[in-house]
Amino acid sequence: MKILFRLIVILLVLLVVGAGLLWFALPTDRIGRIASDRLEAATGRTLTLSGEFTPSLWPNIGVTTGPLAISNAEWAEEPVFVSAQGASVAVDLMALIGGDVRIVDLTLDQPVIQLERAADGRTNWTFETAETTGTQEPGGASAPAITELSAQVLDGRIRFVDGVSGTVRDVQALNVSADITDTGRMVALDGAASIDGIASSVVGTARFAEALAMGAVTLDMAVETDLGTLSYVGDFTDIAQFDGILQISLPNPNAAMALAGLAPLPAAAGNISNLTLDAAVVAEGGDTVIEGTGGVTRDGVEVALFLNGSGALPDGPISVDSRVSAGELADISFSGLVDTATLGVSGPLRITAPSAVEAAAWGAGGEVALPPGLSGPVQIAGFLDANPTRAALSDARIAVGDLDASGRVAASLAGRPRLDGDLTLAVLDLDRFTSGDGAESAPSSRGEGWPTDPLPYDLLDLADADLSLDVGVLRQGNLELGRTRVGVRLNAGDLRLDIQEANGFGGVLTGAIGVNGPSQSIDIDLSLGGVRLERVLGFVAGTDRLEGQAALAADLTARGSSINAIMQSLTGQIRSDMADGALKGVNLAALARNFTDPGGSTLRTDFTEAAVALDITNGTAQVSTLSALGPLIRLAGEGIVAIGAQSLDLTLRPRIVGDLQGQGGSLDAGGITLPVLVTGPWSDLSFRPDLSALEDLAREEVKAEVDEAIDNAVDDARDRVEERLQEELGSTGEGSVEDQLRDGLENRLREGLGSIFR
């Protein structure tokens, strides 16, 4: 409007000068030269007139020109700024006789206006005038007053080349009529054009406080195009001061944005249509107040907007109270501040949705597969602090399906996604957030081996995270942990779980677990205190054959693309001390007493104290320590635990002792030892006596009995010999047998010799 108004004033000056000169019958070239000089003095541009002037005297004095052209800025690409096939102007005859030039009619025939903005920001509609150059044309006169005027533009064209954005806009078939009345204070406008091929029209009025004064104006305008309509009713001074009702209706917002030179909406925005806005806007003294409603249709769902806001525009923060309702899918409300300079928002946020699945599918523009635990209703509330690169929700309550968390969470939106936060959850059932139902979440004890499905290491590379979780109850399959406090650190596919506390298996677990996605490796450093061993083995190995109170420490590493590969490569150490437990499935004491009854009346071997140490290499554990103490029994053993193959090959050496002391007793107490072999897969262990050891034991016992019998026979014979000798030799029974024999022999010899020599 300002450009057209300026052009109209320029042509008014031109034609009024021409009409006055024609009145005095000056030659056409002379008229053109004088008009060009005056225009150049006023604008710095050259006017070129061609053709003859045609005068009219009644009812108003006027003149019609032939083709005309106004030169462009020197730097512009096009040589002509404004051209037209002709122009006509009429002035009030009676006012002219009185010395006052009052233009009452103006017509431009097929004008072409070339607008251009250079890459450095210069514009060709900025004129170099006498005012700007500091000079004044001698005898110059001011432009004629415009108080009553009927103006028309017939079949015009405006072409705008923007060197900054690299775009070209083209307005063709421009036909506009403007009637100025009420001594220049009222303008009625009616026009139509094709803007970049889009048919458009405008109709309305503008009332000025003074005759065409640039300042406060009351507008009642409506613009209608093939793409939609826009209307404004109210007062307007400039972009920072207005008070009125704004209405917008755009059936095709993307096409309207393209027409306005804006980038199209991203594909994630979905199919947007039927954008409407009905708002009361007041801007004064730097403050703006807006109250309105709006709506849009996205992917077939009608979205309603309710907005109340106030603040300083265009750069200041705005206080907003808003609500967005997406049909029956979701409802979002926000009250807070919007920083128009940084596009930051801060304030309370609330989101509700009857179904997370339906809301997520609508938001994503397609079907979304959510785990069962996230398929229920949504209730999210908290204090939002967000900008284009980061969003944070504090004092938050996040309830989505079975997930109910509170605390703080933040997401980085620029570059690699990152999630930070501190969350507290009453219950977290992991089975509800996986595709399975948890029935096979623990390793199978039925001999099926470890799962060979690829582990989803690639999920670790989706985002980074730094989270602290405090969970009241954590469930997964047959595992249930009490209060669990864990730190989750995820960076470039490297996951670290720092377990500050996990109450489970009847005790407390602490330590760290690391999973590295790029190298497909795992490291574990865990300590379990006061746990029930049968519950640990039930979860880890799928067996409960060994029970008792235990303290356990594990330092392990592994590498592989599946759980099977992980178990096959497991390397490290496991140490455990146990108390008040039992080995179920066999009664070793009964087995030691009766080989034909491997179980006895009770299929368990109780112990009060035990220790186990495993040294693991590539999924095979060497049992370096295996001992147990119990009433009437001591147990030692060694062997192999094939973790990867889920099998055992152990030799247990229970010893039946006559000592009822268990805990604190001696492992080396004497007694009967019976080796027992424990072999086979975990799913079907076999307990049987070690027959080869039994043969050795029997052989040793027979040899001992034979040796004892021989020793006894020798002793008996010796006793009889000694007794006979004593009788024969007359031993006194004093001294050793050898002494008695020697004395007896000496006496016999002495007596014999004496008889010889007597």
Q: How many angstroms from the chain centroid is the CA of residue 741? A: 106
Strands (E), 477-630: 479-491, 494-504, 507-516, 521-532, 546-559, 571-584, 604-617, 620-630
Q: What is the average pLDDT across 8-22?
A: 52
432 vs 400 pLDDT, higher one? 400
Is it the case that residue 639 has pLDDT exceeding 50? Answer: yes
What is residue 476's predicted lDDT score, i.e. its pLDDT? 79
Tell me how far apart the alpha carbons of residues 624 and 141 are, in angstroms, rounded to a whole number. Answer: 114
pLDDT tens, residue by residue, 110-161: 999 999 999 998 998 887 654 444 444 444 444 555 678 888 999 999 999 9
What is residue 145's predicted lDDT score, i.e. its pLDDT? 56
pLDDT tens, residue by residue, 412-430: 878 888 999 999 999 998 8
Instruction: Flag the least confident range among 14-28, 468-482, 625-639, 680-694.
Output: 14-28
Per-residue exposure over 676-703, b if at least 16 CB sit within 10 Å of its own CB, e if not: bbbeebbeebebeebeebeeeeeeeeee
Q: Is the pTM of this model over 0.75?
A: no
Closest CA to 517 of 544, 494, 536, 547: 494
Q: What is the average pLDDT across 748-756?
A: 49
Q: Are 688 and 675 in contact (CB under 8 A)?
A: no
Tell me whether residue 704 is exposed, middle or buried, using C-beta atoms within 10 angstroms of its C-beta: 0 to 12, 13 to 18, 19 or more.
Answer: exposed
Residues in the chain: 758
Helix, strand, coil shares of the chain as percentages rounded to 5? 20, 50, 30
Is it the case that residue 572 has pLDDT exceeding 70? Answer: yes
What is residue 667's predicted lDDT score, i.e. its pLDDT? 43
Residue entry with tokens 């890459």: 119
Q: Please, how many CA atoms are within 13 Å of residue 604, restricted to the half-sphere of its CB?
A: 13
Is it the case that residue 3 has pLDDT exceeding 70? Answer: no
Q: What is the average pLDDT across 74-83?
A: 91
pLDDT bin (cut points 50, 70, 90) of residue 555 is very high
pLDDT tens, residue by residue, 47-64: 888 877 777 766 777 778
Identity of the amino acid at 245:
I
Tell me how far apart the alpha carbons of residues 85 and 108 are, in angstroms, rounded to a whole number. Answer: 8
What is residue 575's predicted lDDT score, i.e. its pLDDT? 92
pLDDT tens, residue by residue, 340-362: 778 889 999 999 999 999 998 88
CA distances, 678 to each of 29, 551, 584, 585, 683 (Å): 123, 24, 12, 11, 12
Question: To the nearest 10°, the Cα dihedral for 161, 163, 167, 169?
Answer: -20
Q: What is the average pLDDT across 518-546?
A: 83
Is it the case that residue 592 has pLDDT exceeding 60? Answer: no
Closest CA to 66 of 78, 48, 79: 48
**Cβ neighbours around 42 below 10 Å, total:** 20
Is it the case that residue 662 has pLDDT exceeding 80? Answer: no
What is residue 437's predicted lDDT score, i.e. its pLDDT? 47
Tell me how far apart the alpha carbons of residues 379 and 359 are, in angstroms, rounded to a whole number. Answer: 12
Tell me how far apart the alpha carbons of residues 202 and 420 are, in angstroms, rounded to a whole number. Answer: 52
First to last CA, the chain: 178
Closest CA to 469 of 522, 520, 420: 420
The rounded percent of the chain whose pLDDT value lies above 70 is 75
Determine the 3-state secondary structure of 243 from DSSP. strand
User: DSSP state, 145?
Assistant: B
Q: What is the average pLDDT across 485-500?
A: 94
What is residue 445's predicted lDDT score, i.e. its pLDDT? 47
- Which pair of structure tokens corresponds to residue 531? 């746990």
Per-residue exposure over 276-290, b if at least 16 CB sit within 10 Å of its own CB, e if not: bbebebbbeeeebbb
Range from 191-195, 610-614, 698-702 that averages highest in pLDDT:
191-195
Average pLDDT, the chain: 80
* DSSP state letters, 120-140: TS-BTT----HHHHT---TT-
